Amino acid sequence: MSKNENSNRAKYAALRSYSIEYGYVAKKRSLIEDAKFEHNVLHAQPSIEKYDNDHEDDKDLIHKLMISLDNQIDGIKILVDKLKNSECFLDHIESRPTKKKRSSTYELYLEIKAKNKNFAYLVDKLKESSFLSNVLVLDDEIKFEENIWIPFNIWELDNCTHLNIKYEPDIDSRHPGFSDMEYRKRRQEIADIAFSFKHGDRIPVVEYTNDELKTWNLIYTELMELYPTHACKEHIEAIKNLEKHGLYGPNIIPQLEDVSNFLKKRSGFQLRPVAGLLSSRDFLASLAFRVFQCTQYIRHCSSPLHSPEPDCVHELLGHVPLLSNPKFAEFSQVIGLCSLGASDEDIIKLSTLYWFTIEFGLCQEGKQIRAYGAGLLSAFGELKHSLSGVPQLKNFEPFSASIQEYQDEDYQPLYFIASSFEDVKQKVKQFSKSIQRPYKLKYDPYTQSLKVIDKTFIITEIKKEINDGFDEILETIDNLSIL
């Protein structure tokens, strides 16, 4: 592997987590936007030494930059000062604590609007500062080949935890918790649970505060009134079952360990705590092992009806109930398996499919249309809108849905209708044949691992299935003769 490739891998590991938050470009955090961001960053290459400031000098361009700060406050002050003196304008910024031994070090991802010569001057000045380090310019035009790593067993999902990022409300002033220091501290505490979790651990209990319980109660009560006329029957049945077992109710926020055990018994799915949304590739890959990455934090109490990011309301009320349904669980796993080894372009398509099905899907129930998408079932405003007769409705077809324009700043103008979960699953399986991968994989539910399918594997499996099937037929005949 070349030195440049190693450098890009290190840069990609650092930047992938920024795609989780993607700077609130829109109102909703979207798996699709994450996939697009990931694709852009993956094909970037460091270019500080090679930066060409002679091309299009007179135009204002958007330049991408990543730097590390040894002192957050002093570092940002210096950054602002350098921007002003170099006539560069900050267009976008994202921040996170770095995963180095020194916990005080921060990393910033910046998008800066400036002329090439001004940006080159800025980079030189930033490199001179003792408070800043690892100043890295990102050039999207230079690309390289990247081997796609995938987890081959459920334990290897632990290797993806470095891609998680604490969601920081102080990054963007539009976040409802921006000015609430207690909320920021609370989010840090809950995020730490996810960062330290390993597969096989018990998921720690979160003791929710009175404000958090009030927020849950308000949302839970409102949604329960809408479900009978808006939610699909499988979701309603699952909610009733969760309530029957004492896991769900208006006055309790479910604990992930209890809910995960409930899911295992019914569909084989399980939950894993996560501090925020993983990169699209790793999130989809987890579904292949019937693992759903689930947050434990709840939205800020000042904005109970809207959250710019997934939280436990979205995931426990939107996603979890249907994951207890075996048919829906199988469909979710199919999308995950399709993603393994897929190209960046195909990951974007699969993320779009996920958006129009698992997040915002509608289904046919007799003569009625009902919602099964988690983005609808956890947000009563859009749940009402989806069945109001205002948006356009289309029958689900994966090849068109995978390239359909979507809306992440407002309610969807278009929704796709599935005739059944089985129909969606079969159509997505058919769609998966169009995705080029370097190998074909088979999931083994007994070992929770993947096997590469080659000629030897196929011959061995066919012989085994024929022999096992023949034995079962003989045993059935024997039992019938006894009767």
Nearest to 43 by CA among 92, 14, 9, 20: 9
- Please list, in sequence order, all residues whose beta carbon lies within 8 angstroms of the beta carbon of residue 262, skipping any fewer than 6 positions away: 242, 245, 247, 324
Residues classed as catalytic: 314, 319, 359, 378
DSSP letter (8 states) at residue 305 = T
* Token pair in block for residue 140: 């999207």
Nearest to 89 by CA among 114, 126, 66: 114
Looking at 295-391, which runs of residues are DSSP E strands?
A: 362-365, 368-371
Instruction: Please give the distance of CA 185 from its chain centroid, rounded to a whole number.
Output: 23
**HSE-CB of 70 using CA atoms within 13 angstroms:** 7
* Token pair in block for residue 463: 């012989």
Rounded CA gap, 277 and 351, in Å? 13
Nearest to 422 by CA among 330, 344, 291: 330
* Token pair in block for residue 38: 């990931």
Strands 45-46 and 132-139: antiparallel
CB-CB contact of 10 with 66 (8 Å): no
CB-CB contact of 288 with 340 (8 Å): yes
* Helical H segments across 86-180, by residue range: 116-128
Bridge partner list, 293? 272
